[in-house]
A = this chain, B = another copy of it.
Amino acid sequence: MGDLRRDPIVGRWVIMETDHPNTPADYECETHTQKGGLCPFCYGNESMTPTEIDSCRDLNTQANTPGWQVRVVPNKFPALKIEGDIDRRGIGIYDLSNGIGAHEVLIDTPYHDKDIPDLVDEEVEKIILMCCRRSLDLTKDKRFKYIMIFKNYGPAAGASLEHPHTQLIALPMVPKNALEEIKGARAYFEFRERCIFCDMIRQELEDKERIVSQNAHFLSFCPFVSRFPFEIWITPKQHHAYFSHLTPEEIPYLASIIKDTIARVKNIFGNLSYNFIVHSSPANGETGTEGYHWHIEFMPKLMRVAGFEWGSGFYVVPTPPELAAQYLRGEKR
């Protein structure tokens, strides 16, 4: 049995198991090894992907050939198509739009079996830089209202290709969860004239018990109202609405804390599957960004259970964030 906690941004209640919490050993998470084989994302196989959109590559090397460190290509099986005007219409009480958008794949590294913690800092910086660059470029297209950046790593997280990669989806509308967060943050801002994320960061820095790690610009912590065991948020300490407005000074600090955070999770659970999602302000929107603060939500895939939580929005979390953070800081084993 436990306590009930309410998310101050979106109003979600979760049950946090505090009496008999799960320790890491209680999770039977599936670890996996990269099998290799013929992979369209591997170095030397550039001709197997659609034509390159952008890349970080050695001087004097050509697009769609070796010589790259990070490579962006259109998704071969895109969920949305890039051409056309947006046509929103009703069908009786329902709303429909044609599927306009962009769906890009950022290949994180030429190496099939290297995840983020296995890369050197500069390689992770290039991934972040490229995410910003693609995000800014997609934002120029006024049809797009939201640029979603996320990573599915491992089969249990829904990765269909095992070579580590990140995805960008540009959407003609703001997805529901992002909108809810923005509205919740705005309501708080209107009431208090302060950013709720800034207040949360201040409280976490004081409380200390949910902190995973920190550096000059970023904080990594297990949120008070985690939905998943060992869920971790990474936030800039300073108020910034847009991920893509990261400064050259900040990028190395972000690369370092992302690498460190994932490494800590893998130290405990091995090569497990995970998802991570960048939550940023909408692009090209009239939606006010006052009081919204970009951040990354990292979710290790420790439990298979899903349908009920999906359907009800009601989460039972077997490990409280205070305990998860102790394991992640290495104070418990």
Complex contact A94–B17 (CB within 8 A): no
Complex contact A150–B93 (CB within 8 A): no
Complex contact B176–A4 (CB within 8 A): no
Q: Counting CB contacts under 8 A, is A59 at the interface?
A: no
Complex contact B277–A311 (CB within 8 A): yes
A306 contact set on B, CB distance < 8 A? 158, 301, 306, 310
CB within 8 A of A13: which of B98, B173, B224, B313? Answer: B173
A313 contact set on B, CB distance < 8 A? 175-178, 180
CB within 8 A of A96: which of B6, B78, B93, B304? Answer: B6
Count, chain A residues at interface, CB 8 A: 71
Q: Counting CB contacts under 8 A, is A123 at the interface?
A: no
Complex contact B94–A175 (CB within 8 A): no
Complex contact B314–A97 (CB within 8 A): no
Interface of chain A residues 125 through 180 with chain B (CB within 8 A): 148, 150, 152, 155-158, 169, 171-173, 175-180
A275 contact set on B, CB distance < 8 A? 307-308, 310-311
A277 contact set on B, CB distance < 8 A? 308, 311-312
Complex contact B3–A92 (CB within 8 A): no
Segment at the interface with B among A195-203, A214-222, A244-252: A195-203
Complex contact B152–A94 (CB within 8 A): no
Q: How far is the CA of A5 from the CA of B47 in the complex (A)?
A: 35
Complex contact A4–B305 (CB within 8 A): no
Complex contact B6–A94 (CB within 8 A): yes
A189 CB, min distance to chain B CBs, angstroms: 13
Nearest residue (CB) in B for A92 is B203
CB within 8 A of A99: which of B3, B155, B305? Answer: B3
Q: How far is the CA of A173 from the CA of B13 in the complex (A)?
A: 8
Report A31-47 CB contacts with B as 1/0, cut-off 8 Å.
Answer: 00000000000000000
Complex contact B93–A175 (CB within 8 A): no
Given contacts A4-B97, A275-B308, 18 further A-B contacts (CB under 8 A): A1-B79, A1-B80, A4-B98, A4-B173, A6-B173, A92-B199, A93-B199, A94-B224, A94-B225, A148-B314, A150-B308, A152-B305, A176-B313, A178-B312, A227-B310, A228-B310, A275-B311, A306-B310
3 nearest interchain CB pairs?
A177-B313, A275-B307, A158-B305
Offer 6 A-B interface pairs, CB within 8 angstroms, sorted by A.
Answer: A3-B97, A13-B97, A15-B99, A93-B200, A93-B203, A175-B312
